DNA sequence: ATGAAAGCGCTAACAC
DNA sequence: GTGTTAGCGCTTTCAT
C-alpha cells in the first residue's frame, strides 16, 4: 500500500483536511503549516490519488482523446499520430495527462458516450476519426457531453470542432494543377462515410467550374481511403487506357496518392513525366518520397493542439464564443506535378 | 449527476451490497434477484464508476501504455501506431480499455514510475520507446511495478519484455546483401541510446565476419534514427565519393532508409541501379515506395498484442515462467537491392 | 487557521 | 441469500 494523505497528516501533525488545503492551494491556511506540509509531501514523494480525488471533488476534470477505427481499419493513417502529438504538447504545457482510448464499433455498441464518460469520470473528450456510420456520430450530437470533434462541425452548447477548410484547400490544389495547364484530371475519391470527402469534393467541383471545366466529365476512382484500393483501381485504369486516362491524379489523401504512385510505377510510367499526382494531408512520409508529393498539409499537430486547448477552454469557461476553430493549412509544392506546355 | 448503484438498489428494492454482488458475478445471490437487478441495470444504462471501484476494490486492475518520447522527438516513427493497434486488439478481445499516456522527460523528472502508478491507480504498465537516457530506464528496473517493456530485457519478478531477435534479424539482412554479392557495405547507424542499435550492430558484425569481411573497414553514417540526418549525411558522402562510396546502404531503420533513398535520388543516382538500400522495421510506408524497400518486418502489431497479453498474464498469475517473449520477424524482399554479377 | 465529519460510488467482510 | 456497515483516499462544509 502506498503512502496516503493520512500519512502526510500524521507526519505533519495536522488533519487530512489541512493537508488537502495545502495541496489544493486554498487560501485559508497559514503559510507556515503549508510550507511544512509541502516539505513533507516532497520528502515522502506523496502524490494524491486521482481516483479518490475524482470521486470526492467536483472540480477535478479528466479528459480523454477517443480514437475511432484505429484498431479496425486497414489503413489507419499516421495523421492520428501527429494529432496525438499536438494534444500531448498542449497538455504538457499545463503538466496534465490526457488519456487516449480506442473506441471501436463494439464499444460504441456496448455503451453510449454518456456511459463511457460516467464510467471513467470524464468531464470532456476529444474525438478523432469519427465516420458518419459510427454510433457515436449521432450519440454525441444528442448528448450534453462536453466534447471537441476533429474534422466535422458540431453545434452543442458545450461542444466544439476543429476543422480544416477542406473546400478551399481542395479547390486550391485543384486550381494549382489547372494552372499547370492540366485539363484532363482524374479524381481519386476518399470515403463517403467521412465528411471531409464531401467537402473536398465540393472544393474540387468549384475549382473546375471556375475554370470552365465540367466535373461530370472527370473520371473518378473510388478508394475508401485505402492505399491498396487506390493502387488496384489505378492499375486497372492504366492498363485499360494508358496515357489516355488523363494527365493528373488529384487525390483526396496522401495514402491514396501513394497507391496511385505505386501503380503508375508498376505499370511502367513515371511521375511527373507521364502522370502528375497530388495528395492531401501532409503526412510526414509525403516528404520522404521521390519525387516529393505536392500536397496540402493539414498541420495535424496543430489540430491536435487546438483541439485540446478548445476542450479545456470549454470546460473552464461558461460560454465559449468561437467553438468552431479552423486550423490553417499549407500548400506544399513537391515535384509530383508537371507543368504542361501548351 | 448520473445514475449510481444506490439508484439501482432503490429501483430493485434491494441494498447496494446486493447490487454489487449481482454486478460482480458473486455466487451467493439468488438467480432471481440477480436477473431482476441486471434487468434494471440494462434498462437504466447504469455503468459502475471505475474510480469508485478502483478505490474500494483490490481486484480492480487498471493498466496503461506509456509512450516515451512521442511528443518530443523529431521523427516519432509510425511503428508506435502499429504497437498501439496490437495492444488495443488484445484488450478488445477481453472488452477492456487500456489507457495510453505520453511520458516525456519532464514527467519522468517530476514523478517516479511508482508515483505515476499510485496517482493513476495503475496495477501495471507497458512501456514503449524507452531509451537508456530516460529516467524511467533505471527507475523501472529498481522498482516493483509490474510492467512489460518493449525492446529491451528486464529481469524483475513481475516484469517482462517483448523483443525482436535484432542480432539475428540484422545478421539475416546483412547476409542477404552479401549473398547478392555486395562487398562494399555502408552501415547507416541508429541511436546509441536505443538498445536495439547495439544488438543490430552485433548482428551486422557477426554476418560480416562469417563472410570474412572486416567490420572495421565499413564506413558508418550516424543518424540518431532521424530521416533528415540520414539524408544530409548520405548527401555529403555521395557528393564526396560518388559511386566509390560503396554499393549498398544497410540501414538500422526504415526511416533512415527513406532518408538515404531521398539523398540518392537528389544526388542524381538510382536505386537499385547505382546503389542498393535495405531498411529495418517493416513500416507500412516501406511497401508504398517504389522500388519497394527490402527490409525486416518487426511485426509491431503482434509485438503490441503480445505485450498486452504478457502484462495481463503477469497480473493474473503468481509466477509467469517465460517473461521474455521474442516475437518473430519477417524478412521482406523488395526491389531495393540489386544482384551484383561478379 | 485548523479540526471534525460527511460523503463521493463502490466493494467486501460480517451479520443474520 | 440479503442487509448492514466499514472503509478505499480524498474534498469540502461546518464548527470552533
Render pLDDT for B119-156 as a digit per residue (tens, 0 to 9). Answer: 999 999 999 999 999 999 999 999 999 999 999 999 99
Intervals of chain B under pLDDT 70: 1, 75
CB pairs under 8 A between A and B: 153
Query: Is the confidence at residue A76, as pLDDT, over 90?
Result: no
CA–C1' span, A174 to D6, in Å? 70
Encode pLDDT of A90-138 as tens digits. 999 989 999 999 999 999 999 999 999 999 999 999 999 999 999 999 9
CA–C1' span, A56 to C7, in Å? 8
A332 touches chain B (CB under 8 A): no
Taking contacts as CB-CB distances below 8 angstroms, the residues of chain B near A60 are none
CA–CA distance, A271 with A263 (Å, rounded to integer): 11
CA–CA distance, A215 with A306 (Å, rounded to integer): 35
B182 Cβ nearer than 7 Å to chain D strand = no
Residue A56: closest CA among chain B residues belongs to which residue? B52
User: Most A CBs within 10 Å: which of B267, B281, B290, B293, as the mutation test of the A interface?
Assistant: B290
Query: Is the confidence at residue A75, as pLDDT, over 80?
Result: no
CA–CA distance, B9 with B37 (Å, rounded to integer): 8
pTM here is: 0.96
CA–CA distance, A278 with A280 (Å, rounded to integer): 7
What is the CA angle B258-B263-B268, rounded to 5?
Answer: 130
Sign of the CA dihedral with B304 first, then A283, A76, and A327 last = positive
Could you tell me the pLDDT band of residue A281, with boundaries at 50, 70 and 90?
very high
CA–CA distance, B28 with B19 (Å, rounded to integer): 12
B53 Cβ nearer than 7 Å to chain C strand = yes
Main-chain dihedrals φ then ψ at residue A125, nearest 5 degrees: -140, 155
Give first-to-last CA distance, chain B, whole Å.
Answer: 78
B25 touches chain A (CB under 8 A): no
Q: Who among B47, B76, B114 is closest to A119 (CB)?
A: B47
Query: Is the confidence at residue A227, as pLDDT, over 80?
Result: yes
Mean pLDDT across the stretch A35-50? 96
Query: Is the confidence at residue A66, as pLDDT, over 80?
Result: yes
Confidence at residue A77, expressed as pLDDT on a 0 to 100 scale: 78
Encode pLDDT of B47-80 as tens digits. 999 999 999 998 999 999 999 999 987 767 789 9
**Under DSSP, is residue B273 helix (H, G, I), strand (E, B) or coil?**
coil
Q: What percent of chain A has pLDDT over 70?
A: 100
- Neighbouring-strand partners of residue A64: A99, A125
Main-chain dihedrals φ then ψ at residue A195, nearest 5 degrees: -60, -35
Is the distance from CB of B247 to CB of B221 less than 8 angstroms?
no
SS3 content of chain B, % helix, strand, coil (to 5): 45, 15, 40
Residue A117: closest CA among chain B residues belongs to which residue? B49
CA–CA distance, A197 with A164 (Å, rounded to integer): 12
Q: Cβ–Cβ of B115/A47 closer than 8 Å? A: yes
B93 touches chain A (CB under 8 A): no
- The residue with cell 514523494 is A45
B44 touches chain A (CB under 8 A): no
Query: Is the confidence at residue A205, as pLDDT, over 80?
Result: yes
C-alpha cell at B177: 546483401
Confidence at residue A183, expressed as pLDDT on a 0 to 100 scale: 97
**Length of chain A counted residue by residue:** 342
B49 touches chain A (CB under 8 A): yes
Per DSSP, helices labelled H in chain B are 5-12, 16-23, 31-44, 50-56, 79-93, 105-110, 113-119, 135-141, 166-179, 195-210, 227-241, 254-266, 285-288, 300-316
Nearest nucleotide over every DNA/RNA strand to the B7 CA, judged by C1': C9
Name B219's Cβ contacts closer than 8 Å, sequence gap at least 6: B186, B187, B237, B245, B246
Question: Nearest-CA distance from A154 to chain B in Å?
Answer: 23
| Exposure string for A170-201, b = 16+ CB within 10 A, e = fewer | bbebbbbbbebebeebbbbbbbeebbbbebbb
A44 touches chain B (CB under 8 A): no
Q: Cβ–Cβ of B50/A51 closer than 8 Å? A: yes
Amino acid at each position: 500500500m502506498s503512502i496516503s494523505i493520512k500519512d502526510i497528516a500524521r507526519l505533519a501533525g495536522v488533519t487530512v483536511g489541512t493537508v488537502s488545503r495545502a495541496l489544493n492551494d486554498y487560501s485559508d491556511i497559514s503559510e507556515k503549516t503549508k510550507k511544512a506540509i509541502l516539505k513533507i509531501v516532497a520528502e515522502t514523494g506523496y502524490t494524491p490519488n486521482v481516483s479518490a480525488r475524482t470521486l470526492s471533488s467536483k472540480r477535478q476534470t479528466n479528459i480523454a482523446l477517443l480514437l475511432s477505427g484505429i484498431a479496425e481499419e486497414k489503413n489507419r493513417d499516421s495523421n492520428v499520430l501527429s494529432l496525438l502529438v499536438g494534444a500531448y504538447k498542449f497538455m504538457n504545457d499545463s503538466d496534465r495527462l490526457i488519456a487516449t482510448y480506442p473506441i471501436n464499433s463494439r464499444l460504441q455498441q456496448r455503451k453510449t458516450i454518456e456511459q463511457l464518460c460516467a464510467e471513467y469520470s470524464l468531464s470532456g473528450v476529444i474525438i478523432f476519426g469519427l465516420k458518419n456510420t459510427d454510433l457515436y456520430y449521432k450519440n454525441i450530437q444528442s448528448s450534453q457531453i462536453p466534447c471537441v470533434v476533429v474534422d466535422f462541425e458540431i453545434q452543442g452548447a458545450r461542444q466544439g470542432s476543429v476543422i480544416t477548410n477542406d473546400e478551399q484547400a481542395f479547390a486550391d490544389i485543384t486550381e494549382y494543377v489547372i494552372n499547370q495547364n492540366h485539363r484532363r484530371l482524374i479524381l481519386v475519391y476518399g470515403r463517403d462515410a467521412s465528411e471531409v470527402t464531401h467537402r473536398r469534393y465540393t472544393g474540387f467541383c468549384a475549382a473546375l467550374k471556375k475554370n470552365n471545366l465540367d466535373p461530370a466529365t472527370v473520371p473518378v476512382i473510388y478508394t475508401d481511403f485505402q492505399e491498396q484500393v487506390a493502387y488496384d483501381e489505378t492499375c486497372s485504369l492504366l492498363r485499360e487506357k494508358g496515357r489516355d486516362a488523363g494527365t493528373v491524379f488529384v487525390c483526396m489523401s496522401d495514402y491514396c496518392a501513394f497507391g496511385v504512385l505505386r501503380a503508375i510505377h508498376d505499370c511502367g510510367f513515371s511521375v511527373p513525366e507521364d502522370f502528375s499526382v497530388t495528395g492531401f494531408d501532409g503526412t510526414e512520409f509525403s516528404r520522404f518520397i521521390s519525387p516529393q508529393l505536392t500536397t496540402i498539409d493539414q498541420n495535424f499537430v496543430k489540430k491536435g493542439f487546438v483541439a485540446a486547448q478548445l476542450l479545456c477552454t470549454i470546460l473552464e469557461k461558461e460560454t465559449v464564443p468561437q467553438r468552431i476553430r479552423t486550423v490553417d493549412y499549407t500548400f506544399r509544392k513537391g515535384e509530383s506535378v508537371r507543368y504542361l506546355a501548351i
